[in-house]
Structure 1
Amino acid sequence: MGGTIGAGILRTPGLVAAQLPSAELVLAAWLAGGLYALVGAVCIAELAAALPKAGGWYVYAERAFGKRVGFLVGWTDWLAHCIGLAWVATTVGEYGQALLPHAISQGPYTARILALLAIGLFSLIQLRGLRAGSASQELLSLAKAVAFLALVAACFLLPIQAAPPIAPPPPAPMAIAGWRSLSLAVVLALQAVITTYDGWASPVYFAEEFSEPGRDLPRSLIGGVLAVLVLYLLINLALLHVLPIAQLASSNLPAAAAARALAGPLGGLLITALALVSLLGLINTVVMAAPRILFGLSRDGLLPSFIAQVNGGGTPSAALLLTSTAAAALVLAGSFERLLTMGAVLYVSLPLAGIASLVTLRQREPELPRPFLTWGYPVSPLLITAVSLAFLMGSTANDWLSSLAALALVATGYGVSLLAERRPLAEETS
């Protein structure tokens, strides 16, 4: 839950409602996106339970296709995490700036300073060790779930103080050309929904730190997605209860519009605080997960050995510092629109690598112990592949320049992998 729920759920319901003309279709889109994430979790649970090693998607690609392909997958995964961490930290800085006194919040670098402080704070927590990192994650995830459930309860229980003004939104694509535009509207809506569910694979990065990974990893993956699915449906039901569908579709931040209808101007501040809680939990998850990717690559000889060093608390400290430094540099770099598009392309590519690994290992290593088997195989991996490819093609067509830039970043990893292969040979010769 901590790796999935961010501030996006406060904004995305409006984007989905702008594409679909009825409450029933809006809820169906959120259900479909949740089922996509659930099927993905079911597929990856087999790999995670069979190969409970730190490193994320890299572990499965390396086992199925060799170290070079595995390194490229791990490199891609780490880049995507750094981009996502920088964007989330910057968003935290912007939300935090809005809560500061006016005299302080007007500084030109206030948001960036707050973003760097957020990265630094959670890096320090993780440096203390696995126990501190796990406790902070559980606390933030609980606080996040309670806060969103409180929002849902308020929408159903509190009287609406003032009916929100309804500005007629642009006609939804389905309303313009009828069923001819249905596919386009559904694709656009599902793109927004699937992005909001992103993060469902977070448990695989901590596979070695589960006491019974064969049992607990599938439970964490599947149970986490189900919990998020229920929460997202409740949030959309609550927003539809307070806001007419037209108001929901025209709002950039529908959760804030609903809060203002219930609590007046104070509602906007409450939603800002809720967004901060959500984003802080997301930062903590990424700061925990991304170093495990570098740790796995280093331990397998694909990066310098010092990156695999673990401190007394069980944290890969060198990998953590490298990740935090890279994210901080991206924060200082400034604009994130292109980085976000690049990150989306990278994130969607990773489940495809996981599915390819699942199918390949089923054929190549049928004797591999598998405590959990994918439900509905081979239909379920084929479904994930089809949806992911459609999402990837849509993103590429929408911004091909950023997609090419993402491929260029992945290509730099190929050069790094060649250097990593030559390093052991040079050491052996010397």
Structure 2
Amino acid sequence: MPTGFKVNNRSNQIIFCSITNKTRPSANAGEFEIKPDEHKEFPRDGWEDVSIRNKHNTERTALWINRGEPALIHFDGFDKPLTIYNDYQPEPGFTINNLSPRTIMCFISSSTRIGGNSSWAAIPPGHAMTRPRNGWEAVAVKSQDDKQRKGEFIDNKGKLIKVDFLGFDEDFVVHEAPENFIAAEHYAEAIRIADRSYAAGDSSASLPGGLNASIFKCDTLEFLTTGKKGPSLGDHNQIYTLGLLINHLKYGLAEPGLVVSVTPDWVKVAAYTCEFDAIVVLGFPIKAIDLVAPEKKRPAVGSRMLVVSQFTYRGNNPNTQGVQRDITEGPKSLDKWYNFHPLVAQFVSDDSHAPLWKQRMDEIDEELWKDVWELWVDWKARHGEDYFRLGCPTKIQQMATTHVDSSLPGYTAAVAEQ
């Protein structure tokens, strides 16, 4: 079949499946009955909402899923996540992105694609053109009045690659094809989800994190902190979770953190926010830090960290009134939030972001770093050194507890402070 989806009903009940037709408007977006052990194919060309319900419309599951050739979607019951298999690889070629402010004319030779379209084509600003090719080709660009030209021989190595045109006085920017095309699309779509979520909001941080999430670091931190082998953020059914995490790191408030303790079991970071004028302490098992810390080097006490936080509104929820009990508000607290959720950037974003970590930390007032240490001294006097929140993404908003050591299941069975 052409690109799209194949939904297999592996349950023992009749289901009704519908898939939006955003990427193929001529396709039928209505519901289709799928009996047990049967399947239905849906031609589509990109990301779509896949929705499945039972006969009486009392149970429903849905997910935003990328097309494949086809993408296989297995339904095993409403109490189980959808299982998705997708190893789609696009046809080799060149995608020329016009990132300049003017319309250009583009030509790609067709020595590796006999009979391929090699005519000049107009590409407006912000648009792209794709031509299927399979190796070395001449890529040429000219102005519409033919007064400016530039070109280059480029090898796509049998993959679909992107070539950015920035202007006639700048070199082409050639992007290597990702090792896993679908994984790259998964991550790019998660970024778009994060951006759409931010655009739909009504607030912005004074100093946003500007970062993206490392799937490897986040997966590793979760497993070695909780001891639970959950689904990877790279899994198809984790697209929204990854999007939320990227939204947190990209648009959350960037503030100071300090490594305040390093023991054989734990690295502890005091995470500050001006919204409460307070800290909470995050704990990270040494075995996790040895894999996720920058360059896999354990930080020393006093090392500066970048913390990116989001916040819980008090709202009308009776469970989120006042302030979460492990937060002691300072005199400059804005007194409008119930809780904050701090991520330590160096432990959850890729090391390639190191220049941005430094840039953000350089914008923090020098006196504030000293204040964070004083707040840690006060925290330790009030709670003891072993009272902290777990630092993996799924645990950062939970109440701090007293942790004795990091041997499983020791810290998963920690006793909350009364």
TM-score of the pair, normalised by structure 1:
0.24
Higher helix share: 1
Larger radius of gyration: 2
Compute the TM-score of the two structures, normalised by the length of structure 2.
0.25
